[in-house]
Each structure stands twice: as C-alpha cells, then as structure tokens.
Amino acid sequence: MPRFLTGALAACLLAHAQIPAQDGRNTGTPNTDTHFVPKTYNTLAEWEARKLALRTQILAAAGLFPPFPKNDLHPQIFGRIENRDCIIEKVLLETLPGYYLAGNLYRPLQPAPAGGYPAIISPHGHWNYGRLENTDIASVPARAINLARLGFVVFSYDMVGYDDTIQTPHDFGDTPVEELWSFGPFGLQLWNSIRAIDFLEKLPGVNPQNIGATGASGGATQTFTVSAVDDRVKFSAPANMVSLIMQGGGLCENAPGLRFDTNNVEIASMMAPRPMIMSAATGDWTRNMRTEEYPAVRAIYDLYGKGADVEMFFQDAPHNYNKPNREATYAFFGKHVLGESDPAKLKERAIHVEKLQDMMVLHNRKLPDNAISFQQLFDEWKHLAQQQTADPRARLLAALAAEWPARVLREGDGERILLGRPGQGDRVPAIWIEGANPPALVVHPDGAEAARKDPAAAGLLKSGRAVLFIDAFQTGSAAAPRDRSVKMFLTFNRSDDANRVQDILTALAWLNQPKTQLIGLGKSALWCTFAAAMAPIPIDLQADLSHFPATDEDLAKNFFVPGLQRAGGLQAAVTSLRLNPVNHLPKLP
C-alpha cells in the first residue's frame, strides 16, 4: 500500500526543495484507506502553530467557521427512571432553531458533591441500535450506567438520523450544492456535540470545568474531533478509531476538506496535553496502535512534558467497545478524574437494561411544533451562514485551503519556466516574458499558450511590460490524469478549481510586486477574483464576471470549491477586494 507524507506527497521534495517531474496533486490522491506516515514536530511552538491551523481547517470543513450563534437549547428533561444503578432520563435539545437532538441522561443515585459531578458526552458509533446498542461487542447503556455508578453524569446522544434524531437522514451532504455550503452530517454532528457540552455545563449537579468525552468507531471520530476544537473537553477516550490506515467509512466522518494534509492521528493529538486513552484491537484498522499510532500521539504529549497522560489499551478482538475496552476507560478516568486507582472499584458490573420504548425520547411523543423539515434545516443553515460577514479573507482562505507562499521555487531559463512551493509537490508550467514593472499575470482557462495568443496580452507585450502566463492546474500542458474515484476524494484532496486559485497565488507571490495586473480571461475570471481577494498585497484585477451569476448551480458548474458559499462566496471575495486597495473590482452580472 502506498505511504504518503501528510502535506508533502513526496518526502524527497522536502529534502531537495525541487519541482517534481509530475504534479504531485495528480500522482498522489490520498484517501480514507491511505497508509499515512505522521509528521514530526520538533518544538512545542511548531506544534501549537500547526494545532491552531488544524482547528480552523476542521471547523471550516464542518461548516462552522466561524461557529454559528448559539440559540437557547430549551432543554426538555423528562421520563425519569430510577433503578438500582442510576437515574435515567430522556432529553431533547434544540441545537439549532427548530432542529432537535435527542438522548438519555444518566445520573448517579447519590446527591452531587460540592462542586458537582464530572460529566461525559457519549456519542455512539454506527451500531444498529445507535445509543441503545447493547451487545457483547458494544453496549452503550452498559458504559453509561457503569460510569454513572462511578460518579459521572453521562449524556448519551444520537448521531444524526439515528433513533430519535430524525429530521435528517444519517447520510446526506454529498451533492455539489450541499458541499458548497458545507452542509452535511459531519458538521451537524460536531455542532450537536458542542451543544451537548453546553447542555452539561449548565446542568445542576455538574462540574462545568470537568467534562469529558468517549465513544467508539464513528463515536470516537466525534470524540476526538470535538476534543480538537473545544477545549472544554478535559479528558477523553476515543475507542477503536485512531488509525493511520483507515480514516472513517461514512459521510459523517468525511466532510470535504477535513483531512487536507492530515489524518486522524494528528487530529487526535490535538487533545494534548489533556488526559486521553486510545483503545485498539487486532481485528480492525487500529491493529498497528502499539507501533505506529500510539508512539506518534505520545510524541506530541512529550512536547508538553505530559507523556504519562496518554495511554493505550490493546486487545485481540474485532472492532468493538466491549467490556474489557470499557473497563480500561473506567480505570483511566478513575485515575485521572476521580483520583481512584483501586481496580476492584473500577470494574464493570452487570446492568439492568430498560425496555427500548422506555428509553426512546419520541415514544408516544412527537417533536415540538416548531420542528423543521430537512429542506428547512438546510435553508436555516444557509441563512445563519449569510448573517456572518466578519473577516471575509480569512473565511475564503479556510474554504479554499490556500496560502500566500513564503517562498516560491523557480526552475528553467528563458521563457519556459516552472513554479512550485517547497515540499508541496505542485508544478506550475509558465511562460515568462521579462520587462518593466509592474508585471502582469494573464490566466486563460486553456492555459499559458492560449493566454499568450489572446488579444488581451498583445498590448501588454507591445508596451514592454513583464508578463507571466501560467498553465494553472489541469489547464494547458498541466492537464493530466487525476484519480477522483478514490474513497472520499474531496475529504483529502482539493478540487481542481481550488488548486487553480492556489497556482495563481503562487504565481503572484513569485512576482511579488504591488499593483501587479491580474487578468482573468473567460472562466478564469472567477479563479483570479478569488485569488486577488486572498492576496495580501494590492492587485490590479481585470476580471469580467458578468456571465457568471455565482448562484449555487453556477458555482457547482463553473467554480466548484466545497465550503465556498458557506464562506461567503463571491460577495466575500468582492468585500475582501474592497478592503484591500485595488484599481478595479470585477465586472459583476
């Protein structure tokens, strides 16, 4: 199986800083089954900078950059069951206006101590019965009840489309329009997890400074993802999902843009230095935990001097959150949260399982009258996004995952040159005509030769201006096969149009002259507009967008970048251009 350096695609590029013979964005298409090699971080400062960038990337992929305003949860807690083990109640939370998350709350029988009980959010995986799964392989109720016995308040809640959380299916978000708005199960579930923490924070009898998370499989993905973006998670146990050889099988784990140049091990490492135990088994994709994943995560904890605060549990078993796995979690939480190390006190005991109908939130009950449909939820998601207008450049940079490179490589003499970024594996063929400043960059949808022959270039060349023509990604001589059929392609690989914007930014950074004239011809007017909006220097933009209305349907056809509309779309680009002095704004429809 091929092995990829996250963020490099070819390790030799880092060592030799040269432009490859083939563009690595075509020759390497990482996917959910790629065998990744973790990056090495030599200093805590280097890691903290990376962690900050990753947090933005995760939130942007989720459609939560910036996060939406938090409406009142209007928590409904009812259906109290008090048995020999704990108190169980039904919960309904309005996590977005008209959208409801359901779950069960498990509380200890004893009155809360001074300062309150520690609490845990408990997302489930792709089990048949969701949060009510109770088998030898995985019992969500056994986990919640035994944690409540130990002195934790546990909120066990649904993944979208499971059990009582029924306003969406579980799988959605894979149409181009939904992708443009970053509307999918990954983001909705991450938002629900954040709001679940909000719920526990304000719950009487809970210590709001001592909240943790645990789940297995898809629930582990939610566990380490919410822990990565929300520092309120103080301890965690992602079970059987932290892997370098499989990154998640469903749409709820694979939003477009989520794993650009990264993987689950790096995302899980963002928990550091807070206590975390990762479990693994011989029978699934965590089978290499002892030799690959755990050492990589431990290395990050060591940067903080907290290596002892990350542990692993490994067993010979299939994919699971079984009793031995759960008991390892109890022992870890007991030591780090309760100050209890006596193993006899932390073993799992048999539970009384309540009838399913007594646990279901919507048994003999309907959703509140203001509950909205799937389409109305999508409309609300778009409405909330359109209300957010702050820092359009930052939002566009996050959506396009683009950068203004600090250094640009150049190879070749005379007119035919190549440009690229150190360590990134990209290759941008170009025609360079030396001349007077300020230079001009001319971009054509058919590449550099077509741009050079266009009448728009004739006057520039006649005047003696320096002019650069590029073969932006997949145009002109840069056109090449690219395998887009790999699993969850957009989760790991930028779209063609996003790469074109990056190539324009790379070319502008190589020219590095204020007031560079940027001419976008035909459809490339869209590429150039977004590149100019993200450039940190003034750009003289010449772009006619009058034939591109920039609707969802138009962008899906002519400029497809997942998350672009969530980031503000063309309006954000125009606003950014107005904030950065330029000679011209694009001609709009």
Alpha-carbon distance of 254 to 319, in angstroms, equals 19
Find tokens 């002259």 and name the residue: 513
Residue 211: both structure tokens together: 């909240």
Q: What angle do CA 514, 518, 524 make, to 5 degrees?
A: 150
Q: How confident is the model at residue 9 (pLDDT cuts 50, 70, 90)?
A: very low
Decide if pLDDT at 184 tops 70: yes
Q: What is the mean pLDDT of residues 472-490?
A: 98
pLDDT digits (tens, 9 = 90+) for 219-271: 999 999 999 999 999 999 999 999 999 999 999 999 999 999 999 999 999 99
What interhelical angle do 496-511 and 392-400 show, nearest 10? 120
Q: How confident is the model at residue 581 (pLDDT cuts 50, 70, 90)?
A: low
Q: What angle do CA 107, 112, 114 make, to 5 degrees?
A: 150
pLDDT digits (tens, 9 = 90+) for 548-562: 999 999 999 999 999
Q: How confident is the model at residue 589 (pLDDT cuts 50, 70, 90)?
A: confident
**For a pLDDT cut of 70, what percent of the chain falls above it?**
96
Q: In what order do the strands lie in the sheet with 310-318?
A: 76-82, 87-96, 99-107, 153-157, 117-123, 206-216, 233-239, 276-283, 310-318
Decide if pLDDT at 14 tops 70: no
> Taking a C-beta distance cutoff of 8 angstroms, is the pair 518, 508 a contact?
yes
pLDDT digits (tens, 9 = 90+) for 412-441: 989 999 999 999 999 999 999 999 999 999
pLDDT digits (tens, 9 = 90+) for 264-311: 999 999 999 999 999 999 999 999 999 999 999 999 999 999 999 999
Alpha-carbon distance of 78 to 256, in angstroms, equals 38
- Cα distances (angstroms) measured from residue 321 to each of 141, 317, 327: 12, 10, 10
pLDDT digits (tens, 9 = 90+) for 30-79: 999 999 999 999 999 999 999 999 999 999 999 999 999 999 999 999 99
Q: What angle do CA 23, 24, 29 make, to 5 degrees?
A: 130
Burial class (CB in 10 A: 0-12, 13-18, 19+), 344: exposed
pTM, whole model, 2 decimals?
0.95
Q: How confident is the model at residue 531 (pLDDT cuts 50, 70, 90)?
A: very high
> Taking a C-beta distance cutoff of 8 angstroms, is the pair 506, 531 a contact?
no
Residue 7's pLDDT is what? 41
Decide if pLDDT at 16 tops 70: no
Domains of the chain: 3-30+389-579 (3.40.50), 76-386 (3.40.50.1820)
Residue 588's pLDDT is what? 73
